[in-house]
Every structure is written in C-alpha cells, then in structure tokens.
Homo-oligomer: A and B are copies of this chain.
Amino acid sequence: MTTDVHEPSGAPEPVLPAGQDHPSGHGYGPRKDEYLKRLRRVEGQVRGISRMVDEDQYCIDVLTQVAAATKALHAVSLGLLEDHLGHCVAEAARESGETGDDALVRAKVAEATAAIARLVR
C-alpha cells in the first residue's frame, strides 16, 4: 500500500488487455474525493461508537450507531460497484466487441458477481 503505484495521468494508453493493474482498473477515479470524504465520515462514526462503548452507553443506542456505520459502508460499496460496472466491466465489453473474444468480459462479470456476493453475504 505504498503510493505512486499508478500514474494514470500522462501515461500512454497501455496495449495490454485491461487487467488488475491496468490504469483503467479503477473506475471510481472521478469520484475519488467523494469516496475519501465518505470513508473519513465512516471512520469518525466508528470512533464515535468506541466512545459510546467507553462511556458505557446503552447497548441499543450503540447498536443503532453500528447499523448506521454499516449502512454507510454499504452505500460506499454500491457506489464503487456502479463505477466499476460502468467503467471496467463496460470497457471489457467494448474491447470484447472489437476483438470478438468474450473471455475478458466474462471474467470481469464473474469477478464483479463474486464481489456482489461478498456484499450480500
């Protein structure tokens, strides 16, 4: 988790097929700041829950806040997923439309479905 792994801007479009380490691999780029803000808020919510527990607040009130944090994480997941489908999966589909080879789009869809399954649990 070091920085400067990707340098999407200015870099020439790679010729290799879209994959895990493809710059286009993160469809959330345009909404990055929004996600960072939302995640910061969730972090604050979790810290608030710790404080409630530390102050011996009523179980049900703690549970209500845990449910709120969980819901916020779900919303982040759905946003990331929508971006992923609209960018990475759609791009794979367009590529496979050009090449006539469905393997890539099928792999991307299977990968996205597995992510959704983890979300739904």
Once the chains bind, are B46 and A82 in contact (CB under 8 Å)?
no
How many residues from A make CB contacts under 8 Å with B?
82
List residues 42-97 of chain A with CB under 8 A from any CB of chain B: 42-43, 46-64, 66-67, 69-71, 73-74, 76-78, 80-86, 88-94, 96-97
User: Which B residues touch A67, using CB under 8 A?
Assistant: 77, 115, 118-119, 121
Q: Is A118's CB under 8 angstroms from B80's CB?
A: no
The answer on a CB contact under 8 Å between A58 and B113 is: no
Cβ-defined partner of A63 (8 Å) among B51, B81, B109: B81
Write the chain B residue with the least CB distance to A85: B109
CA distance A45 to B43 in the complex (A): 9
Hey, which chain B residues are within 8 Å of A70, CB to CB?
70, 73-74, 77, 119
Q: How far is the CA of A25 from the CA of B63 in the complex (A)?
A: 13
Closest CB in chain B relative to A69 CB, distance in Å: 6
Choice from B6, B51, B63 contacting A57 with Cβ under 8 Å: B6
11 new A-B contacts, CB < 8 A, other than A66-B76, A70-B73, are A2-B55, A20-B60, A32-B53, A43-B43, A60-B115, A70-B74, A85-B85, A85-B89, A86-B106, A93-B97, A121-B121
